[in-house]
Amino acid sequence: MIKISIITINYNNGFGLERTIKSTINQDYLNFEYIIIDGDSEDDSKKILEKYQSKIDYFISEPDNGIYNAMNKGINISTGKYLLFLNSGDELCNNLVLTEISKTLKDNFDIYYGDLIFLNQGVHDYQKYPDKLSFSFFYETSLPHPATLIKKELFEELGNYNENLKIVSDWEFFLKAICKFNKTYKHINIDVSVFDTNGISCDENNKKIIDMERLLVLENLFPNFISDYEQLAFRSKLLNSNRFKMLKELESSKLAQKLNSLFLRIILFVFRGKTLKKL
């Protein structure tokens, strides 16, 4: 039975922390350790840690230097073969998730990732991820951190999370592991976690920081791909434009095609006999 380390980081989110702890300690899979890194919270988080301390293998509450500094503390402490980062507010989907995941770990891939449920104001959005990953996939999004198990040896080989980045260090790690060093991966076709969208990465106010950090990562890891990245950005902007959506609607809708044909006939009738130059 392969050992799994679940790492939770928390800061001033006592309500979310307790929810995460409950979903973890109730797993029926036995060979896992639970590590919680708290950033010296000022709310009731410390009381919650004390409340569940007999169920937690290791916890610490002390000031840190950000999200990835806290995660790196968890990495350094962990003893499992695979690590799963389940931050405060996130939950495992059910009590059998780790058991289901463990059935595939014998294949010994470097990274395993399942599917994620986004929870936003009580609404559940089910996100499925592809079996095959590519550079263009990572341009659009990233692997679901709360639904991804990473072999600890991979951190020992590639290094821990980059603490100079505030938001996209996990994205950088996955991009580096899969697109630069061709590490092995496998998609597990199950819902693994429920992701709390109140975190820093989902805050619209942080979009500029995210874009800036992503560009810095690409300049560092793939300087020759910057032009491709810019083309992907232009393509994404084009595909999401209202004009492109209208053209797609014309292509797919018979009614829209008929209306467009009728409109053109009216234009030709009204302006018959006039040259384009005169128009």
Among 71, 36, 76, smallest CA distance to 53 is for 36
Residue 196 lies in a domain: yes
Chain position carrying tokens 């996990």: 170
Considering the domain architecture, whether residues 122 and 45 belong to the same structural domain is answered as yes
Residue 276 lies in a domain: no
Considering the domain architecture, whether residues 45 and 156 belong to the same structural domain is answered as yes
Residue 99 lies in a domain: yes
Number of domains in the chain: 2
CATH number of 13's domain = 3.90.550.10
Residue 193 lies in a domain: yes
With pLDDT > 90 as the criterion, what percentage of the chain qualifies? 68
Find the range with the poorest average confidence among 27-36, 165-174, 193-202, 264-273: 264-273
Measured between alpha carbons, how far is 255 from 252 in angstroms, rounded to an integer? 9
Considering the domain architecture, whether residues 173 and 261 belong to the same structural domain is answered as no
Q: How far is CA 132 from CA 46, 56, 88, in A?
A: 41, 35, 29
Among 82, 187, 203, smallest CA distance to 137 is for 187
Chain position carrying tokens 């104001």: 121
Residue 258 lies in a domain: yes
Type of residue numbered 24: T
Token readout for 108 is 């010994």
**Which structural domain range is residue 245 located in?**
241-270
Task: Look at residues 173, 202, 231 and tell me which one is the last residue of a structural domain.
Answer: 202
Tell me the per-residue pLDDT of 188-229, one tens digit each, with 9 for 90 and over: 999 999 998 775 555 566 788 998 999 899 889 888 776 666
Mean pLDDT confidence for 55-79: 97
Considering the domain architecture, whether residues 164 and 52 belong to the same structural domain is answered as yes
Who has greater pLDDT, 85 or 275? 85
With pLDDT > 70 as the criterion, what percentage of the chain qualifies? 78
Residue 230 lies in a domain: no
Considering the domain architecture, whether residues 142 and 251 belong to the same structural domain is answered as no
Query: pLDDT grade, residue 239 (50/70/90)?
Result: very low
pLDDT of residue 206: 76
Token readout for 190 is 């199950």
Considering the domain architecture, whether residues 197 and 245 belong to the same structural domain is answered as no
Considering the domain architecture, whether residues 145 and 264 belong to the same structural domain is answered as no
Considering the domain architecture, whether residues 14 and 91 belong to the same structural domain is answered as yes
pLDDT of residue 100: 96
Residue 116 lies in a domain: yes
Residue 164 lies in a domain: yes
Token readout for 182 is 């061709």
Cα torsion 205, 209, 215, 220: sign: negative
Tell me the per-residue pLDDT of 103-155, one tens digit each, with 9 for 90 and over: 999 999 999 999 999 988 777 899 999 999 998 899 889 999 999 999 999 99
Q: What is the mean pLDDT of the chain?
A: 87
Considering the domain architecture, whether residues 172 and 263 belong to the same structural domain is answered as no
Put simply, whether the predicted model's pTM sits higher than 0.85 gets the answer no
